[in-house]
Amino acid sequence: MFICNKCYRSYQVFFETGISSKALLVCAERNSSYSDDKDCMCGHLWGDGACAYFFSKENIETKSAKIIDVTSEGLGNIGMGTDGVFLNLQNKEIKMPYGKDVFVHACHYLIENTKNILIKNDFSINQLSYFIGHQANMRILKHVIKELGIPENKLLYNIEELGNTGSASTLLVFAQNYDKFKSGDLICISVFEGGYSAGSCLIRMN
């Protein structure tokens, strides 16, 4: 349910003005079209995935998720920036030549954005029911929850099953675990994408 801040504000304006009361978000990654298993740096990491989310101004079912807040930021000016992870359409390849740089900055911004969105909305780490981080690799996820002080049983992931499904990854994790969420659960999604860009989303289950 993570959407960029611009998209979220657009939906909000449409909802508030009455132009529209519903929206559909579709996200898909077909990384197998560009990944190369012979690439020892990252060829084995990528996976394919797709999902669709329906947004409504009003609740239309008993069990639903309310987006409390969304943040996003472009970070192409830090570290290796747009060279850290990139898609070369001409050569049909997806590359991550600077794995250490990606790891360092991904950890930093996943942690920082999680802390910031919780503080902004008057919540603490201890109030989180679940945490969903960008599904890049388990080393990043475990480092992030250790630094944040989040117990492992609150970490949700599918990286070992699906690989890195890019922009669809956290949406897929949320959907796969939807049945276990209960009313009142507070879920934080935090992402760091190739490019570089980062963001977070805070969700409360109704």
pLDDT of residue 2: 39
Name, in order, each residue with C-beta under 8 angstroms of 66's C-beta and a sequence gap of 6 or more. 203, 204, 205, 206
Residues 34-43: tens digit of each pLDDT: 888 888 878 8
Amino acid at 69: D
pLDDT of residue 5: 44
Tokens of 104: 């360092």
Name, in order, each residue with C-beta under 8 angstroms of 186's C-beta and a sequence gap of 6 or more. 123, 127, 128, 129, 130, 202, 203, 204, 205
* CB atoms near residue 198 (< 10 Å): 23
Residues of the chain with pLDDT under 50: 1-6
Looking from the CA of 66 toward its CB, the CA atoms found within 13 Å total 13
**Domains of the chain, residue spans:** 5-205
Cα 168 from Cα 134, distance rounded (Å): 9
Determine the Cα angle at 60 with ends 177 and 187, to 5°: 30
Task: Give me the CATH topology for the region 5-205.
Answer: Peroxisomal Thiolase; Chain A, domain 1 (3.40.47)
pLDDT of residue 12: 62
**Helices 138-148 and 99-120, packing angle to 10 deg:** 40
pLDDT of residue 18: 77
Cα 204 from Cα 199, distance rounded (Å): 17
pLDDT of residue 11: 58
Q: How many helices (H) and strands (E) does the chain have?
A: 5, 9
Q: Cis omega (within 30 of 0) on the bond before 196?
A: yes
pLDDT of residue 9: 54
Cα 83 from Cα 100, distance rounded (Å): 13
pTM: 0.87
* Residue pair 23/9 in contact by the 8 Å Cβ criterion: no
* Residue pair 133/154 in contact by the 8 Å Cβ criterion: no
